[in-house]
């Protein structure tokens, strides 16, 4: 098994130019943008209000399991196969995977040209989590799904994320599964049930004619068609079974889906899991509870099921943890949610415990993440002279606080006091320990919806990513490519990580 990046164009581990800090020419993605680019921002009270179901689900109970059961029952009545499986006979194939795509703005479109070049010849694409922001409405699919991927020539499958669930999954099920049914939540019970009953955001209307026209206009070619059987599914091939699960609003599986997952995970064939919520992320293990008992990761770790990798979206960056199991196998746990939405910081990730630090991979590099965030907070606080760090300064500060070898080396001096202060304030842990309470300011502890607007920008480097997976009868190769937004990187995007996994 190799974790080495092959020779090729510079990437973020070899130079600042490879990271996109110095763009020779702007990206051609500007030409793909619609006439009116949505000014997407989480600062707007209307956007926050539309996203309220996430908070209600965590406070008063998540109805996603019950809604999913109703929708799956409707799919079964329509004749969907019980196994929810798509069969592909080719023993060798390739596919693209991109996560958390649908803001519909420049950062999403910046991914498209390098994606089309690096995934040329792939047989299908998978979107892992959050196809549509902010609330998964059907009316947003023309500009945030059909139009951006109009030139991808093969079918696209998806697993939903929490944002797709904010409209009860109605838009997602209509577009990907052909189900036009409002699977409303069951009534809440208890003394405070009147609160979610009154505040819960119900599914919006579905304009079937408008969606059909968008499909015809942008993705109407015969080779682009490929309906999936449900919100969770399996793609079975002779060499590898790809299994996609629906983790709902809060990362839980219902009892029926858990039973299905155990069934399709059986047998000696190697398997790859695609999930809306990653199982390892930010140096934290999140095994994924299943209604009635057990977890998703128990199923993945079971040697009888022969999983080789588990890839999740939801977190908007790239991370890879090669975790060794008790029986001597290695499972690649990957986060790949950098497909278009704002960037989640990587500099807040502690020195890793789940795997050895030199085996861990992330993109952007911690130093680049800190440099980008320092510029954002310097602008926001109007203190650029205090907060803004160059990539070299930020890398030195990360190396000092975490005690790690940086992904991109410099020969410069030790970090200044100012750089160390900014790193502490913006969330870089100290050798894995928590920072002092008075410095626990913004990046890690602020909820996503309040920090996202600070982490979204419309100029390179964007630090987005996508995957290309190539399958043969004996090996699975997973490559992570960067989407910087620079024109120099569109036809030959930097390869940030490359791992080959034996399947026999």
- Mean pLDDT score of the chain, rounded to an integer? 90
pLDDT in tens, 389-425: 999 999 999 999 999 999 998 988 899 999 999 999 9
pTM of the model: 0.93
Residue 501: Cβ within 10 Å count: 21
Find how far residue 146's CA is from the centre of its chain.
19
> What is d(CA 83, CA 78) in angstroms, rounded to the nearest whole number?
14
Residue 68 burial (CB < 10 Å; 0-12/13-18/19+)?
buried
Q: How confident is the model at residue 387 (pLDDT cuts 50, 70, 90)?
A: very high
d(CA 125, CA 401): 39
Q: Please say if the pLDDT value at position 235 is more than 80.
A: yes
Which pLDDT does position 188 carry in this prediction?
81
Percent of all residues in the chain with a pLDDT value above 90, rounded to a whole number: 68
Over the stretch 465-475, which tens digit does the pLDDT of each residue have?
A: 999 999 999 99
Residue with token string 């399996």: 234
Is 338 in contact with 317 (CB distance < 8 Å)?
A: yes
Q: Give the 3-state secondary structure of residue 96.
A: strand
pLDDT of residue 185: 76
**Residue bearing the bigger pLDDT, 27 or 322:** 322
Q: Is the pLDDT of residue 131 over 60?
A: yes
Question: CA 419 to CA 388: how far, in whole Å?
Answer: 9
Produce one character per residue of 30-46: b if its CB has 16 or more CB atoms within 10 Å, e if not.
eebbeeeeeebebeeee
Over residues 281-297, mean pLDDT: 96
Rounded Cα distance between 316 and 348, Å, is 13
Distance in angstroms (rounded) separating the CA atoms of residues 443 and 439? 11
Between CA 86 and CA 213 the distance in angstroms is 26
The rounded distance, in Å, linking the Cα atoms of 27 and 2 is 32
**Does residue 82 or residue 328 have the better pLDDT?**
328
Say how many C-beta atoms besides its own lie within 10 A of residue 301's C-beta: 19
Record the tokens describing residue 35, joined without a space.
Answer: 């006439």
* CB neighbour list of residue 6: distance below 8 Å, 6 or more residues apart: 495, 498
Predicted local confidence at residue 434, as pLDDT: 45
What is the rounded CA–CA span in Å between residue 401 and residue 427?
A: 10
Instruction: Show the tokens assigned to 107.
Output: 């950062």
Mean pLDDT of the 193-207 span: 86
Q: Rounded to whole angstroms, how far apart are CA atoms 172 and 140?
A: 11
Residue 214: which H helix or E strand, with range? Answer: helix 208-218
Lowest mean pLDDT among 224-238, 314-328, 444-458, 490-504: 444-458
Higher pLDDT, 128 or 205: 128
More confident residue, 1 or 363: 363
Quickly state the pLDDT bin for 35 (edges 50, 70, 90). confident
**Domains of the chain and CATH, by start:** 45-344+459-502 (3.60.21.10), 361-443 (no CATH)
Q: Minimal CA–CA distance to 406: which of 376, 374, 368, 354?
A: 368
Instruction: Give the lowest-confidence range in 56-70, 156-170, 253-267, 319-333.
Output: 56-70
User: What are the tens digits of pLDDT across the range 428-465?
Assistant: 998 755 445 444 444 455 544 445 556 677 788 999 99
């Amino acid at each position: 098994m190799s974790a080495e990046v092959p020779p090729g164009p510079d990437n973020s581990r070899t130079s600042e130019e490879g990271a996109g800090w110095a763009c020779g020419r702007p990206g051609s993605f500007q030409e793909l943008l619609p006439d009116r680019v949505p000014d997407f921002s989480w600062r707007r009270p209307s956007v926050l209000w539309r996203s309220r179901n996430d908070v209600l689900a965590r406070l008063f109970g998540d109805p996603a399991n019950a809604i999913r059961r109703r929708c799956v029952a409707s799919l079964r009545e329509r004749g969907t196969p019980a196994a929810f499986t798509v069969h592909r006979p080719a023993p060798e194939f390739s596919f693209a995977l991109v996560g958390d795509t649908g803001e519909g703005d420049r950062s999403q479109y910046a991914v498209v040209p390098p994606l089309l070049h690096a995934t040329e010849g792939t047989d299908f694409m998978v979107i892992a989590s959050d196809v549509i922001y902010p609330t998964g409405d059907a009316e947003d699919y023309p500009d945030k799904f059909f139009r951006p991927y109009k030139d991808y020539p093969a079918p696209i499958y998806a697993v939903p994320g929490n944002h797709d669930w904010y409209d009860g999954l109605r838009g997602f099920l209509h577009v990907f599964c052909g189900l036009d049914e409002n699977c409303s939540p069951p009534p809440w019970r208890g003394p405070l049930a009147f609160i979610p009953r009154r505040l819960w955001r119900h599914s919006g209307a579905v304009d079937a004619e408008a969606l059909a026209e968008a499909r015809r206009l942008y993705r109407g070619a015969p080779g682009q068609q490929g309906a999936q059987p449900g919100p969770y599914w399996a793609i079975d091939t002779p060499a590898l079974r790809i299994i996609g699960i629906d983790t709902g609003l809060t990362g839980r599986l219902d009892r029926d889906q858990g039973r299905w997952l155990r069934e399709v995970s059986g047998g000696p064939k190697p398997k790859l899991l695609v999930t809306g919520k990653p199982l390892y992320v930010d140096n934290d293990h999140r095994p994924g509870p299943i209604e009635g008992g057990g977890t998703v990761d128990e199923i993945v770790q079971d040697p009888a099921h022969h999983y080789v990798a588990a890839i999740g979206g939801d977190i908007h960056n790239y991370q890879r943890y090669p975790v060794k199991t008790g029986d001597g196998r290695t499972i690649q746990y990957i986060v790949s949610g950098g497909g278009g939405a704002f960037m989640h910081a990587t500099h807040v990730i502690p020195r890793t415990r789940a795997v050895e630090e030199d085996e861990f991979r992330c993109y952007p590099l911690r130093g680049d993440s800190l440099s980008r965030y320092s510029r954002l907070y310097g602008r926001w606080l109007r203190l650029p002279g205090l907060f803004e760090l160059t990539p070299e300064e930020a890398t030195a500060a990360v190396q000092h606080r975490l005690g790690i070898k940086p992904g991109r080396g410099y020969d410069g001096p030790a970090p200044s006091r100012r750089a160390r202060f900014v790193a502490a304030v913006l969330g870089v842990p100290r050798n894995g320990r928590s920072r002092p309470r008075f410095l626990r300011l913004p990046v890690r502890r602020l909820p996503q919806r309040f920090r996202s607007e600070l982490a979204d920008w419309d100029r390179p480097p964007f630090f987005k990513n996508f995957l290309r997976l190539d399958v043969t009868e004996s090996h699975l190769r997973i490559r992570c490519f960067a989407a910087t937004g620079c024109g120099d990187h569109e036809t030959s995007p930097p390869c940030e990580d490359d791992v080959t996994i034996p399947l026999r």
